[in-house]
């Protein structure tokens, strides 16, 4: 499945490719063939970038699932205004990752805060504080968590589908980031961390923590 957000890029790129192909076949217009190849390559990349594969969500009621495809780059104990004392798990999403984000736990959205900021490399520690980001606070009867979508040096658009009061189900889609970025999850001490730094993770399928 391809995300609908990709239509703004895919549709015009397709028509540009079509026109370049048609005109490149005319005598003396062969240089347009090179432009067609470049445009078609970008179209294929965009088609692949906006892919949205189905995921098998774990049925373990204590599981907290990963919100993003990518690589765990940091696990750190911090203090958060919503969660309190917690562990922050940071996941780097490269341009080749699936960029659809999924909900770590079932619960109610208590707050959504969009913060404008910089577009530093998502690998840098200071991106947690300085970069453009969207923070979603979720609570159920067992715990509170926060998920933060962070823009990177290439990513320039954060998309979120949720608002305060929404009831979310674990593993459902809640947004995406274009193109390459970082997602952080804040979990309380009552959660046993099940991943380690450097580990590759899959959105909706990898269990990043279990409620004790």
Give yes or no for residue 156 having a pLDDT over 70: no
Task: Measure Cα distances from 20 to 12, 28, 43, 48 in Å.
Answer: 12, 13, 13, 21
Give yes or no for residue 50 having a pLDDT over 60: yes
> Which of 38-47, 103-112, 203-212 is least confident?
38-47
pLDDT category at 10 given cuts 50, 70, 90 is confident
Give yes or no for residue 167 having a pLDDT over 90: yes
Q: Write down the domain spans for the chain.
A: 4-49, 63-211
pLDDT category at 203 given cuts 50, 70, 90 is very high
Consecutive H or E run containing 201: strand 200-201
d(CA 206, CA 200): 9
CA nearest 89: which of 160, 194, 204?
A: 194
pLDDT score for 121: 64
Q: Does 106 participate in catalysis according to the annotation?
A: no
d(CA 133, CA 152): 9
Looking at 97, 181, 197, 203, which residue is catalytic? 181
pTM of the model as a whole: 0.84
- CA angle 207/76/57 to nearest 5° reads 10
Task: Measure Cα distances from 16 to 12, 20, 79, 198 in Å.
Answer: 6, 6, 50, 40
Mean pLDDT calculated for residue range 185-211 = 96
Residue bearing the bigger pLDDT, 73 or 23: 73
Residue 13 three-state SS: helix
Mean pLDDT calculated for residue range 157-179 = 90
Q: What is the pLDDT of residues 110-135, one digit of tens each?
A: 999 998 877 666 566 666 666 789 99
Mean pLDDT calculated for residue range 188-194 = 96
> What's the sign of the alpha-carbon dihedral 85, 136, 177, 171?
positive
pLDDT category at 144 given cuts 50, 70, 90 is very high
Share of the chain above pLDDT 90, in %: 55
pLDDT score for 45: 84
Q: What's the token pair of residue 77? A: 């104990």
Residue 90 three-state SS: strand
Q: Which CATH class is domain 63-211?
A: mainly beta
Q: What is the pLDDT of residues 61-76, one digit of tens each?
A: 999 999 999 999 999 9
């Amino acid at each position: 499945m391809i995300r609908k957000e990709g239509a703004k890029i895919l549709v015009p790129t397709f028509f540009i490719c079509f026109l370049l192909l048609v005109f490149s076949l005319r005598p003396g217009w062969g240089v347009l063939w090179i432009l067609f190849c470049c445009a078609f390559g970008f179209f294929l990349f965009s088609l692949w970038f906006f892919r949205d594969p189905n995921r098998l969500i774990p049925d373990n009621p204590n599981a907290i699932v990963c919100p993003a495809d990518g690589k765990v780059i940091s696990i750190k104990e911090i203090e958060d205004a919503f969660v309190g004392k917690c562990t922050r798990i940071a996941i780097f999403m490269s341009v080749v990752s699936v960029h659809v984000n999924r909900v770590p736990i079932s619960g109610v959205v208590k707050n959504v805060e969009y913060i404008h900021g910089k577009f530093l490399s998502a690998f840098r520690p200071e991106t947690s504080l300085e970069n453009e980001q969207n923070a979603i606070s979720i609570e159920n009867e067992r715990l509170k968590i926060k998920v933060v979508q962070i823009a990177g040096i290439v990513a320039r658009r954060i998309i979120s589908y949720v608002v305060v009061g929404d009831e979310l189900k674990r593993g459902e889609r809640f947004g995406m980031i274009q193109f390459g970025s970082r997602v952080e999850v804040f979990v309380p001490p009552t959660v046993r961390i099940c991943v380690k730094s450097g580990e590759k993770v899959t959105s909706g399928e990898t269990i990043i923590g279990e409620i004790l």
